[in-house]
Amino acid sequence: MKPNQNSELSQLSADLKKEAEKEGFNPIGIARIPGSPRLELRTAALQRWINAGYHGEMQWMNSAKREKVDLLLEGAQSLLAVGLNYFVNQQTEPDSLKIARYAWGKDYHKVIEKRLRRLGHWLTQKKPNCKWRVCVDSTPLLDKAWAEEAGIGWIGKNSNLINPKSGSWMVIGHLLCTEPLVPDKPSKSLCGQCKKCIEACPTKAITEPFVVDSRSCLAYHTIENRNKKLPARIEESIGSWIAGCDICQEVCPWNTKSKIFTNDPDMIPQNWILRLTKAEALKWNDETWKEKLRGSALKRIKPWMWRRNANAIKVNSLNTEIKQ
C-alpha cells in the first residue's frame, strides 16, 4: 500500500470512529477481515458448544454464515465494532420483579441498527464505492469474538463481553465494510483467576470458564424457552427474574469497581419496569402486554410466557394463578 493511501485510510478510520462516538457509541474499535487465528479458535469453540447441545432450542446459532464473514458481505475487508452502554443510574424498587438491564430501554436492535446505518451512509459519502452491512446480535456473526478482535473488550468467563473501563453493561453492534480500514489491537482477557460469576450462578449454568449451558440458564428459559412450563430446577432458582438475568454481571469485579452511567434517552426505562409486581404482571392481558412492551426487546417474550414466568416466581406471591 502506498504511503498516501495508508495516510488516507488512517484518517478515514479515525474519522469513522469520531462519527461513531457522536452516535453515542463507546467503546469503539476496528478489526481487519479475516482476523487473527483467534477467530478460528472461537469458531471451533462455537461448534463444540453446539455439538454439546448447549444452545438448547436456539437452532439459529448453528448457521454456516457465522464461520465466514464474506457470506454476510461479499468483499468485506474491515469491521467496525461498537458498544452502547445501557447502565442507567436507577434501581428497581424493593420486592419488585426483575428484568435484565439490557431490556430496560428501547429495543437495542433497532437503536443500534439505526445509528450504524447513519455511519454506513456517512461512509458512502466518503467512499462512494464502499459497500457495507449493519450487524446486530440477530445477524449470524460471531459478534463477541469480532468485538474482542476489534479491541473493545474480551469475552469473560460468563460469556459476556467485558471492557476494562465500562465493564459488561453494554450491547454491541458491527458495521462490515469493503474498505481496508486500520485495525486496532485485539483485547486480552483480564479475568485472571476470578470465579465470582461461576460461583454466583444459581443454576450452575457456567459449566466451566467461558462455557455457558443455555439449558441451565435463567435468561434462556425466561426468554427463549417456548414450553408451557419451566423445568422444576429453573423454577426453584428463578428468584424474582421474570425476564433475563444479570446475576453473573452484578458480581463481576469489572462492573462493581467502577460504574459508568448513561443518560442516553434510548436507554432510560419506563417507570413500570422499576416497580413491577407479580400481582400486576399477572393482571396483564395480551393487549396490555402489547402496549407496555411496544418498542422493547422484551417483545421476544410472548404474553403467555410472561405469565408463565410470573407464575413461577415465589416472591410477591399471588394466590390466584391464571391460565396461560
**Residue from 95, 107, 137, 286 carrying the catalytic annotation:** 137
Residue 285, sorted as left (phi over 0), alpha (psi -120 to 50) or beta, turns out to be beta
Whether residue 213 lies in the annotated active site: no
Kindly list the catalytic residues.
Answer: 137
